[in-house]
């Protein structure tokens, strides 16, 4: 009974959870459907203009990285592929928000550069007489020397700032289009750029460490030295050994410098997202990037850094809704086929297990209810989408779920054949069946877990369905089917071995004559069967003797 109450609690929690999602969040009463069934949005990404030469290899790499980024945000069953020779098409179910598009499109090229100089965002120059004038980029004297007179010894060396560069820096305005090209600047030369809000202009040295040296990144809340939380979000980076070495060397050098040169610029896609001053050398290879992050933006950047920068910068060329590729006809037919299949299963169960068949059907209904609400909650919370293959997977799960009941029922029959009373047969049959069910379900669950962790793309969605149905199977057989049978075993209908109960004496050799008393009838092919004692133990021995005799008979008859 306690089990049934637990089951009621689980179902109630699922229903209330779904309801709460509908009332207070973005949840719905039905699971969200995947691209093939519902359609979604097709985003065509095209390389930014200055990346005219895109190789096939780069494009493939971009697709792989975008897929990992999308996977990291949930199980969405997105489709990503190349189109023509330079475009990437991302199809996402539903309507993606701005965050999602940004997550996909940003190149996430991260560089660490030393700061050489900073100033206001404009190209206004203060003249000696107190007035201001605007330095025009077009007016830079082309004859100014643009190669350093002395070869700079390190990234912070002011010899990088040639007269030509100084003039360019002065003439640079954050409002100009030049900021756009900063993301593809050469890594071994200084860079002029701004912060994302265009309030500070930077002159930076060459790249000291770049994103490819990052081995892991995660979002976290900044804590003070005493461990208190500041509530501000940051991205924690872990460098690989090479990156750690380079980063330690650079920070060691910067500590000794003063002014702007003490600062370290963290450049994301050409813009300085943060330029902290260097208080001490960081030698453990684990810097933290702060800079006005929200929880979402910190998580997004961490994911982007973890899976690497896109080899090329992309921009959205078009974003359109697309309809489902499988017409409504396919889904309807699938559901119709599922219904026909279920009806057949019901008929078969009733023929095979008579009244016990109803227990199977009820158990399947309970399993269906739990699965439905879990899928709905997963789809609201984790972005899980149900595709047609997912629906087919759930239909196959009927077989695996029903198998637990079949294993259990057959075990009970075995116990009855051994001469046990019904109540005791249910209990000992259960003890043996649940072992089998647990080990076989564990194997399935292991498959689901490994695939979910290691695989990418659609395979993860499948893994989730498999894992889910496996757990539901265990829950239902333990919390519903078994307690139901315990209850039924006490009823007259089953205990008397009614011939429609599915456990009746017609289908089992032992004629049940009331609590603990049996008479075993002769089975065909057995010559000697005499049951002297009515005790359970004797009945058991007799059946084994029967079995031996029968085996001998069978051997002789056929060989």
Partner 1 sequence: MATMGQFGNDLYSGARSFRFVERRRWWYLISIALVLISILGPLARGGFQIDKAFNLGIEFTGGSEFTVSNVPDTNQQIASDAVATVDSQLVPKISIVGSNSIRVQTQQMTNEQTDAVSVALATGYGVPDTNVTSSFIGATWGADITTQALRALIVFLVLAGIVLALYFRTWKMSLVAIIALIHDVIITAGIYGITGFEVTPGAVIGLLTILGYSLYDTVVVFDKIRENTTGQTRDASLTFGQQVNLGINQTLVRSLNTAVVAALPVAAILFIGAFVLGAGTLRDISLALLVGIVVGTYSTIFLAAPLYAGMRMREPAIKKNDTRLRELQEKARERADA
| Long-range interactions of 83-87: CB distance < 8 A, separation 24+ | 83/44, 85/54, 85/56, 85/59, 86/46, 86/47, 86/54, 86/59, 87/44, 87/45, 87/46, 87/47, 87/317
Choose, by CB under 8 A, the member of 203, 272, 301, 324 that binds partner 1: 324
> How far are the Cα atoms of 390, 398, 427, 462, 556 from residue 446, in angstroms, in the given order?
19, 19, 28, 13, 45
Q: If binding is defined by CB under 8 A, does position 442 make contact with partner 1?
A: yes
- Contact between 415 and partner 1 by CB under 8 A: the answer reads no
Q: Does 450 bind partner 1 (CB under 8 A)?
A: yes
Report the run of H or E that residue 292 belongs to, with start and end: strand 288-293
Least Cβ distance, residue 413 to partner 1 (angstroms): 7
Interaction of residue 238 with partner 1, rule CB under 8 A: no
CB of residue 313 to partner 1, shortest distance in Å: 19
Q: How far apart are CA 241 and CA 80, in angstroms?
A: 33
| Residues 494-513 interacting with partner 1 (rule: CB under 8 A) | 499, 506-509
Of 443, 490, 491, 533, the residue at the interface with partner 1 (CB under 8 A) is 443
Give how many residues touch partner 1 by CB under 8 A: 102
Q: Can residue 385 be called a binding residue for partner 1 (CB under 8 A)?
A: no
Q: Does 329 bind partner 1 (CB under 8 A)?
A: yes
The number of angstroms, rounded, from the C-alpha of 377 to the middle of its chain's C-alpha atoms is 14
In this chain, which stretch among 26-34, 84-92, 201-209, 277-285 interacts with partner 1, using CB under 8 A? 84-92
Q: How far is the CB of 381 from partner 1 (least distance, A)?
A: 23
Which of 492, 530, 532, 556 is close enough to bind partner 1 by CB under 8 A? 556
Q: Are 3 and 479 in contact (CB under 8 A)?
A: yes
Distant-in-sequence, close-in-space partners of 522: CB < 8 Å, separation ≥ 6 = 529
Q: Confirm or reject binding of residue 303 to partner 1 (CB under 8 A).
A: no
- Closest C-alpha to 395, from 355, 441, 339, 439: 339
Burial of 151 (C-beta count, 10 Å sphere; 0-12/13-18/19+)? exposed
Q: Which stretch binds partner 1 (CB under 8 A): 212-220, 340-348, 421-429, 488-496?
A: 340-348
- Which region holds residue 514: left if phi is over 0, alpha if psi is between -120 and 50, else beta? left
Site for partner 1 in 523-552 (CB under 8 A): 523-526, 543-544, 546-548, 550-552
Torsion, CA 88, CA 91, CA 96, CA 99, rounded to 10: -30
Give the interface segment with partner 1, choosing from 120-128, 149-157, 392-400, 421-429 (CB under 8 A). 392-400
Q: Give first-to-last CA distance, the chain, whole Å.
A: 52
Residue 365 binds partner 1, judged by CB under 8 A: no
CB of 82 to partner 1, least distance (A): 3
The window from 76-84, 263-271, 288-296, 371-379 that contacts partner 1 (CB under 8 A) reads 76-84
As given in the structure block, the two tokens for residue 114 are 């030393």
Judged by DSSP in three states, 208 sits in coil
Instruction: Please list, in sequence order, all residues whose beta carbon lies within 8 angstroms of the beta carbon of residue 343, skipping any fewer than 6 positions away.
Output: none
Task: Determine, following the binding rule CB under 8 A, whether residue 36 of this chain makes contact with partner 1.
Answer: yes
Q: Considering beta carbons, is residue 11 or 350 the nearer one to partner 1?
A: 350
Query: Which parts of 2-21 interact with partner 1 (CB under 8 A)?
Result: none
Binding of residue 246 to partner 1 (CB under 8 A): no
471 scored as a contact of partner 1 (CB under 8 A): no
Range in contact with partner 1 (rule: CB under 8 A) among 120-128, 295-303, 309-317, 433-441: 433-441
Rounded-to-integer distance, Cα 185 and Cα 268, Å:
12
């Amino acid at each position: 009974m306690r089990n049934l109450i637990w089951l009621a609690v689980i179902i109630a929690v699922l229903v209330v959870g779904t309801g709460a999602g509908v009332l207070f969040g973005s949840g719905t009463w039905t699971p969200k459907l995947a691209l093939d069934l519902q359609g979604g949005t097709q985003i065509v990404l095209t390389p930014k203009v200055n990346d005219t030469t895109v190789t096939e290899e780069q494009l493939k790499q971009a697709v792989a990285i975008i897929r990992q980024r999308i996977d990291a945000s949930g199980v969405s069953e997105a489709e990503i592929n190349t189109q023509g020779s330079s475009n990437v098409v991302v199809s996402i179910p539903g309507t993606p928000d701005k965050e999602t598009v940004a997550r996909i499109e940003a190149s996430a090229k991260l560089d660490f550069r030393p700061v050489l100089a900073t100033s206001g965002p404009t190209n206004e120059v203060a003249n000696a007489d107190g007035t201001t004038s605007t330095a025009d980029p077009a007016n830079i004297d082309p004859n100014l020397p643009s190669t350093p007179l002395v070869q700079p010894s390190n990234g912070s060396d002011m010899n990088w700032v040639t007269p030509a560069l100084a003039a360019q820096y002065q003439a640079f305005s954050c409002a100009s289009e030049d900021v756009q090209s900063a993301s593809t600047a050469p890594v071994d030369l200084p860079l002029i750029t701004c912060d994302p809000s265009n309030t500070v202009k930077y002159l930076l040295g060459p790249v000291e460490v770049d994103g490819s040296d990052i081995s892991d990144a995660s979002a976290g809340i900044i804590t003070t030295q005493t461990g208190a939380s500041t509530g501000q979000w940051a991205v924690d980076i872990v460098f690989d050994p090479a990156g750690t070495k380079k980063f330690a060397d650079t920070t060691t050098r910067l500590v000794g410098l003063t002014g702007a040169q003490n600062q370290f610029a963290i450049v994301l896609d050409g813009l300085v997202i943060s330029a902290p001053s260097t208080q001490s050398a960081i030698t453990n290879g684990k810097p933290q990037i702060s800079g006005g992050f929200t929880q979402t933006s910190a998580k997004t950047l961490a994911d982007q850094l973890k899976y690497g920068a896109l080899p090329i910068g992309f921009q959205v060329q078009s974003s359109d809704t697309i309809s489902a590729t499988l017409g409504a006809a396919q889904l309807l037919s699938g559901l119709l086929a599922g219904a026909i299949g279920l009806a057949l299963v019901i008929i078969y169960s009733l023929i095979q297990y008579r009244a016990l068949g109803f227990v199977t059907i009820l158990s399947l209904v309970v399993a269906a209810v739990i699965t439905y609400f879990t899928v709905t909650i997963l789809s609201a919370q984790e972005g899980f989408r149900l595709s047609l293959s997912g629906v087919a997977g759930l239909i196959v799960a009927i077989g695996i779920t029903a198998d637990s009941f079949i294993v259990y029922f057959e075990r009970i029959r075995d116990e009855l054949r051994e001469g046990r009373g019904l109540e005791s047969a249910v209990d000992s049959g259960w003890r043996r069946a649940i072992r089998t069910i647990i080990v076989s379900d564990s194997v399935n669950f292991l498959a689901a877990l490994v695939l979910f962790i290691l695989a990418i793309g659609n395979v993860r969605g499948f893994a989730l369905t498999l894992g889910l149905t496996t757990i539901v199977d265990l829950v239902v057989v333990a919390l519903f089917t078994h307690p139901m049978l315990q209850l039924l075993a006490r009823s007259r209908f089953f205990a008397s071995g009614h011939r429609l109960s599915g456990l009746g004496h017609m289908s089992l050799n032992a004629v049940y004559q009331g609590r603990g008393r049996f008479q075993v009838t002769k089975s065909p092919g057995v010559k000697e069967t005499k049951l002297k004692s009515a005790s359970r133990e004797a009945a058991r021995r007799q059946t084994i003797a029967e079995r031996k005799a029968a085996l001998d008979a069978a051997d002789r008859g056929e060989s």
